Amino acid sequence: MTPDSFPNAGLSRRSAIKILASAASVSALRLPVSAASAAEASGQTSPSLMPIGAPLPPMKGLYHGAAYYPELWPDSEIDRDIGIMRETGINVVRMGEFAWSKMEPDEGRISLDYFVRVMDKLHAAGISTIFCTPTATPPIWLVDGHPERCFVNADGVTMVHGARQHTSIEHLEVQAACWKIVEACAKAVGRHPGLVGWQIDNEFKCHVQEDFSEASVACWHKWLERRYGTIEKLNDAWGTEIWSQRYQRFNQVPAPRKTPFLHNASLSTAYLQFSRDSVAEFMDAQSTIIRKYSAAPITHNFSLGFAVNFERMCENLDFASFDNYSPSDKFYSIIMNCDLFRAAKPGRPFWVMETSCAHNGWLKNYETMHPTGYLVAEAVACYGLGAEAFCYWLWRQQRTGCELPHSAVITAWGKPSIGFESVKQVEKVRRALLPLLEATHPAPVEAALTWSDRGRTFLITEPLGENSNYKLDFRAMMAAWHERLIDAGLPRDLRFENTSLDGLKLLVTPLMPYVSDEFRERVKAWVEKGGIWICGPLTGTRTGEHTVPTDAGLGALDTFAGVETVFSFPVTSAGAKGEFKGLSAPLSGWCHAFRPNHPDAKTIGALTCEQAPGLAFITERKLGRGAVVMLGAQPQGDAGADLLTKLLAHYAVQAGATRIDTSKGTLVCPRVSKDGRVLWLVINMDGHGGQVQLPRPGQDALSGATLATGSLTLARYEYRAVWL
């Protein structure tokens, strides 16, 4: 029995939206109040306004926005705030995500009248609204005297009211209260003329990881039963004869709370996946309710560090959005977010839902200030890479709470903040670029990096290579790979593992321990047509149940790549080096040492390691019109970055992928018009100035000046728009 042959009725594998229509599905989802029953109770039984997959209404332009919390301030401030918003060019606000107690101060006493009045004022001033469901901050009455409704961490500590995300979303009473307030919001503002979109909750799993409450563990047992069908299949899949772990019933399977040593890897990874499915189902249920009353598109505000499955959650969203608070010297981070969430919903623009206008901060910390000019560069890069909105957290500095040091567009005392003039400058640039951005869209890319949410869970359970000298962090390593693609001059996507490979010529897939049969066969067909796949490190090391392959070191990948994985071992502090085309770099972490064993496979880069002499660090196998390139370990340091950049550039040329020659720290956002004209937005992001090589004569899209082939120089944080 192979891992892929186990029955998987878990909702992570299909749309929860599609099955909510049946009464049986409501029971399966553990929803005490379905969208249908809620509508019937209110006497509104009209068909869904916004079924998933239906054509979406067009969005209304290029947005410049801020998070707004009018409930925190006297009503007399609202008109004043709106006046300053108009001055700065803010044309959209997001609100409601933390206001449950304002909407429902006592259980059952719900009114959205206050927010409708605020939206009326905003709409009259030409300012649109993204309205959020307030389920991130349940009010005190929901948990007072009911600790069983609260989130419990892996140490058994029960969270208490006072911050956010402190309830168990698996608890039936919590769910019932959530569905009730979501329906009230949808009915109250779902057809408001100022509404342009919905945000479900906010930053799922921002402050917590997996829930270990009794309610969550009970749902874990049901999830296992749906996934495996019988306890015998679970025992077989997980190899539970080890340490006498064999189970007799699903409700005997523990959640991975504290145990004397460590839990079975299969169990730990499965619980991570269950938790992520649960979050997605919670979001899907809210979306279903909203779609009964509103045609406005729905999103969620993501951040890459949170314990969710981005791919699964994006399935049933209408557009993607994210927050990013990186300081200016970490500008690659926001580019990576743009590249991931642009590709998450093909054909739909993404939103930058939160960024700081000057600096980030909370009670225990604050980050460095943006240098003068950086905010404009950041905004132009985001708009150029496909953002439809660039929004700040927040409009007015908090006067209470735990984020007092965080920057805002205006201060707590209602005056322009230190970032105010930068916001006004962003608006000036937005208006200048608006005709160009509306006339073009991001050009299709030919290179991509695979983002595997499933792989991320495996590497949380087993961060291969971790010791005192080397700690593997999925997001940090993916960020390093993404930076290498930029340095190699490649316009790029980060694509989820189950999305299409159409249009790609080069695909890079590191850090994906389990490679499904479906993914491998899809990549094989793509390679045979001419694609080049760079695979590894740490890709293919485990089965789908987080066990070690027993047919070959990397399972079926060995045959696919035409190699034998001879050894699998840590090379940290072993003096190991990898070589590629005259470059050599130290290796660290976990290594797979190869020997080509197919006539079409050969060693491209040698591994130097006294414990594993004469083996390969990089191999290449020709397959059809393309090639499979295996990378056995992660090169480290500046030498490692140079080696990987050269590797990517070499295979980009071999694949025929488009490359753009720029100096480090200068970004090009290629765009294309409906009639095929090419527009480059070129932005210096590092504040040191830079150059880009124009491959042919062009025209400055703003001034009309003719530009010659060759080097175009940019000053510190300067941007240029060039028709080629």
Q: Which active-site residues does the annotation give? A: 203, 354
Beta-strand ranges (E) seen in 312-366 are: 321-323, 350-354, 361-362, 365-366
Q: CA-CA distances (angstroms) from residue 62 to 141, 277, 480?
A: 40, 33, 31
- The DSSP annotation for 669-720 comes to EEEEETT--EEEEEEE-SSS-EEEEESS-EEETTT--EE-SEEEEE-TT-EE
Q: Give dist(CA 256, CA 6) in Å, integer.
A: 22
CA 702 to chain centroid, in Å, comes to 33
- Please tell me the distance from the alpha carbon of residue 658 to that of residue 599, in angstroms, as a whole number: 30
The two three-digit tokens of residue 256, written as one number? 């991975």
CA distances from 202 to 164, 198, 210, 353, 713 (A): 10, 11, 17, 10, 41
Asked if residue 349 has a cis previous peptide bond (ω within 30° of 0), the answer is no
User: DSSP secondary structure string, 9-40?
Assistant: --GGGS-HHHHTTSHHHHHHTT-SS-HHHHHH
What CA–CA distance (Å, rounded) separates 652 from 328?
Answer: 29
CA 589, 595, 599, 605 torsion: positive or negative? positive
> Shortest CA distance to 136 belongs to which of 50, 194, 202, 182?
202
Q: Tell me the C-alpha distance between 532 and 620, whole Å.
A: 10
Run of H or E including 52: none
Long-range contacts of the stretch 409-418 (C-beta < 8 A, 24+): 409/66, 409/84, 409/88, 409/90, 409/357, 410/81, 410/84, 414/77, 414/80, 417/357, 417/358, 418/358, 418/369
Please report which helix (H) or strand (E) contains residue 84, including its range.
Answer: helix 76-88
Strand partners, 579: 584
Opening angle at CA 210, ends 297 and 201, nearest 5 = 25
Give the H/E segment covering residue 455.
helix 453-461
Contact 587, 573 (CB under 8 A): no
Other Cβ atoms less than 10 A from the Cβ of 521: the count is 12
With 0-12 / 13-18 / 19 or more C-beta atoms within 10 angstroms meaning exposed / middle / buried, residue 53 is exposed
CB 387 within 8 A of CB 344: no
**How far is CA 113 from each of CA 97, 99, 105, 643, rounded to the nearest angstrom?**
16, 13, 13, 60
Kindly state the tokens that stand for 483: 């930076």
Closest to 587 (Cα-Cα) out of 599, 604, 569, 601: 569
- Exposure string (b/e) for 647-662, b if CB count within 10 Å is 16 or more? bbbbbbeebebbbbeb
Which of 287, 242, 292 shows the shortest CA–CA distance to 267? 242
Report the length, in residues, of the chain: 724
Helices of type H across 265-353 = 265-291, 310-314, 332-344
State the Cα–Cα distance between residues 194 and 199, nearest whole angstrom. Answer: 15
Q: Are 351 and 94 in contact (CB under 8 A)?
A: no
